């Protein structure tokens, strides 16, 4: 079942590749319908529930037994949430691409390939399959930005590719060092060793010839892995590739980038980095906390200075994922305060999931603005839209308020849990980061004021409000913003058991 789930989108892509006579719309429609298969499979997994060990499904193959390399994929509650996000957002992206008339055979196929790789990243339990899928997402992403993007897309795509690839190389080097020193790259085994404090000792014996001590070695490895994750999330100052890539990519692809690709980084940080490197936490804690606060604040402040709607939302993404990093930093700094740590971890996962949904809704709104205005998306290009297209403004407004953390909508719960956890562990970081919540409100409300409010801008008086198709596309996303906001347990029930299991690895 798991293998079917992971490979289903790839099979769709293969079918598209083989279907030579397909027209653009036919291919897009096929891909959109095909992408429902993973959703159904993920839903089935969700209904089946987890076994006592926490796994919902697992699949493993001893690929290169001599090197201990196995293709291990396991779904537990946390992974499941990310699988759900991936399958939903992919379908959403394919549907709005179809609706925008952007799709073609190769475009749809690339998105499906990317989905398979993402599903792989979110379930892999061994570094090799994890890394393969991690890097393989880059290729479709690069091509999608490069071929369907705006005028500066080639440069933006190239930088995106090079920087994230560079991060990936660092991560690979880190894990290779572990493979050489410890003899395994299996996440579970590494975490097991780390929780007993064996990782440092083993590394020290393996590299006895070098002048470096065990803790220093492990620190280097941890920093290398962290670099790879930091570029992907991104953490300030490794985010320089992001605004251009988000702004130049076609808007549906921007949704993929922010909704899913950035989540790989968060997922890796929380599920791979945290359990394997607790021995380095004491050294890393203050640095990670500082970077997290910088990410939160600089993201929000930089968004204040932007004039392009997509760039504003791009920095807003940096800011929002900063809260996930903040939570991770809090856990890194935790001295066994289990409740705070569990709050931070739950909050970070929720925040990641909800940000994926909320950002999808907001960027979809931008896509509609773009298609109505013939590609303009400056902050000052519009005005008074609420009088002309109230439904669009209402729905986008809902997403915006969810994004600035209005209680009752999904964004709040994640932020509450993150801050609740962080405050117990890093009170100063939490107190300073709260300013980020304030600045978020400032730039998002400014967006509403400039775009939706005020007198009606020139040339906007003929705009039609949302079509039926557009309303139907908005509906599920809005539902996913409102329902978890009112009833967060619907998501948290999948997380709680895993959160506790994760914390068991972090006992100091």
Can you say how many angstroms the Cα of residue 157 is from the centroid of all Cα atoms in its chain? 18
Task: Kindly state whether residue 54 participates in binding another protein, applying the rule CB under 8 A.
Answer: no
Q: What are phi and psi of 418, to 5 degrees?
A: -60, -50
Binder among 23, 49, 237, 508 for another protein (CB under 8 A): 237
Check residue 506 for interaction with another protein (CB under 8 A).
Answer: no
Q: Which of 36, 40, 67, 431 binds another protein (CB under 8 A)?
A: 431
Annotate each residue in 158-177 with x if it binds another protein (CB under 8 A) or - if it does not, as one string: xx--xx--x-----------
Smallest CA-to-CA distance from 312 within 392, 261, 264, 381 is with 381
Rg, the chain, Cα only? 22
Stretch touching another protein by CB under 8 A, among 9-17, 281-289, 324-332, 381-389: 381-389
Q: Work out which of 445, 460, 463, 505 binds another protein, going by CB under 8 A.
A: 445
40 binds another protein per the rule CB under 8 A: no
Q: What does the alpha-carbon distance between residue 206 and residue 178 come to, in Å, rounded to a whole number?
A: 10
Question: Phi/psi of residue 407, each to 5°?
Answer: -60, 150
Note if the bond before 400 is cis, omega within 30 degrees.
Answer: no
Find the part of the chain contacting another protein (CB under 8 A) among 1-9, 182-190, 235-243, 366-374. 235-243
Binding another protein by CB under 8 A: which of 10, 456, 460, 483?
456
- According to the binding rule CB under 8 A, does residue 101 interact with another protein? no
C-alpha dist (Å) from residue 401 to 47, 71, 321, 438, 453: 31, 42, 17, 12, 15
The 329-358 site mask, x for binding another protein (CB under 8 A), equals: ---------xxxxxx-xxx-----------
Name the segment binding another protein (CB under 8 A); options: 5-13, 47-55, 98-106, 233-241: 233-241
Could you give the CA distance from residue 351 to residue 136 in angstroms, rounded to a whole number? 25
154 binds another protein (CB under 8 A): no
The owner of tokens 């956890």 is 421
Closest CA to 319 of 346, 305, 304, 298: 298
From the CB of residue 14, how many other CB atoms can be counted at a distance below 10 Å? 14
Nearer to another protein, 369 or 430 (CB): 430
Distance set, CA 185 to CA 168, 191, 280 (Å)? 15, 10, 18
The answer to whether residue 240 forms part of the interface with another protein (CB under 8 A) is yes
CA triple 381-402-462, angle to 5 deg: 30
* Smallest gap from residue 55 Cβ to another protein (A): 19
Q: Min. distance of Cβ 44 from another protein in angstroms?
A: 25
Q: Does position 384 bind another protein by CB under 8 A?
A: yes
> DSSP string spanning 34-54?
HTHHHHHHHHHHHHH---TTS
Q: Where are the alpha helices (DSSP H) in 257-308?
A: 262-267, 274-276, 281-304
Binding mask 255-294 for another protein (x = CB under 8 A): ----------------------------------------
Residue 111 or 348: the one with the smaller Cβ distance to another protein is 348
Give the residue among 363, 356, 267, 273 at the shortest CA–CA distance from 320: 356
Which one of 52, 211, 455, 458 is in contact with another protein (CB under 8 A)?
455
Q: Which residues are at the interface with another protein (CB under 8 A)?
A: 158-159, 162-163, 166, 237, 239-241, 243-244, 298, 301-302, 304-306, 338-343, 345-347, 384, 386-387, 390, 394, 401, 406-408, 412-413, 416-417, 419-420, 423-424, 430-431, 434-435, 437-438, 441-442, 445-446, 448-449, 452-456, 487-489, 492-493, 495-496, 499-500, 503
């Amino acid at each position: 079942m798991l293998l079917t789930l992971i490979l289903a989108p790839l099979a769709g892509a293969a079918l598209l590749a083989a279907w030579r006579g397909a027209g653009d719309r036919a291919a897009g429609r096929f891909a959109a319908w095909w992408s429902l298969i993973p959703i159904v499979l993920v839903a089935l997994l969700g209904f089946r529930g987890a076994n006592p060990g926490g796994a919902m499904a697992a699949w493993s193959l001893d690929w290169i037994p001599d090197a201990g390399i196995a293709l291990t994929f396991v779904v537990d509650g946390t992974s499941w949430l990310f699988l759900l996000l991936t399958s939903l957002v992919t379908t959403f992206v394919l549907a709005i691409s179809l609706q925008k008339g952007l799709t073609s055979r190769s475009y749809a196929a690339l998105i499906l390939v990317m989905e398979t790789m993402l599903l792989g990243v979110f379930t892999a339990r061994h570094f090799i399959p994890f890394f393969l899928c991690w890097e393989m997402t880059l290729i479709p992403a690069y091509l999608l930005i490069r071929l369907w993007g705006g005028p500066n897309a080639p440069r933006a795509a190239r930088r995106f590719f090079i920087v994230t690839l560079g991060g990936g190389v660092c991560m690979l080097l880190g894990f290779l060092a572990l493979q050489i020193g410890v003899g395994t790259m299996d996440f579970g085994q590494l975490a097991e060793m780390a929780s007993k404090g064996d990782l440092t000792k083993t590394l020290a014996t393996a590299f006895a010839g070098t002048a470096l001590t065990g803790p220093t070695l492990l620190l280097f490895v941890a920093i290398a892995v962290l670099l790879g994750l930091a570029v992907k999330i991104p953490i300030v100052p490794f985010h320089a590739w992001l605004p251009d890539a988000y702004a130049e990519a076609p808007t549906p692809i921007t949704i993929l980038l922010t909704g899913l690709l950035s989540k790989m980084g968060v997922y890796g940080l929380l599920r791979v980095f945290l359990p394997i490197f607790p021995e380095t936490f004491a050294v890393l804690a203050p640095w990670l906390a500082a970077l997290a606060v910088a990410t939160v604040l600089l993201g929000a402040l930089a968004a204040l200075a932007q004039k392009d709607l997509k760039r504003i939302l791009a920095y807003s993404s940096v800011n929002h994922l900063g809260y996930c990093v903040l939570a991770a930093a809090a856990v890194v700094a935790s001295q066994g305060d289990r409740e705070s740590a569990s709050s931070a971890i739950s909050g970070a996962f929720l925040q990641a999931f909800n940000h994926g949904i909320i950002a999808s809704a907001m960027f979809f709104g931008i896509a509609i603005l773009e298609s109505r205005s013939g590609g303009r998306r400056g902050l000052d290009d519009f005005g008074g839209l609420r009088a002309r297209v109230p439904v669009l403004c209402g729905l986008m407004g809902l997403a915006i308020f969810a994004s600035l953390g209005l209680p009752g909508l999904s964004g709040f719960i994640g932020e509450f849990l993150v801050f609740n956890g962080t405050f117990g562990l890093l009170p100063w970081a939490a107190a300073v980061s709260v300013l980020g919540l304030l600045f978020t409100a400032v730039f998002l409300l400014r967006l509403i004021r400039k775009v939706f409010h005020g007198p009606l801008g020139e040339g906007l008086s003929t705009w039609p409000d949302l079509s039926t198709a557009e309303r139907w596309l908005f509906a599920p996303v809005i539902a996913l913003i409102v329902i978890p906001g009112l009833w967060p347990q619907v998501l948290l029930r999948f997380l709680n058991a895993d959160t506790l299991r994760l914390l068991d690895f972090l006992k100091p």
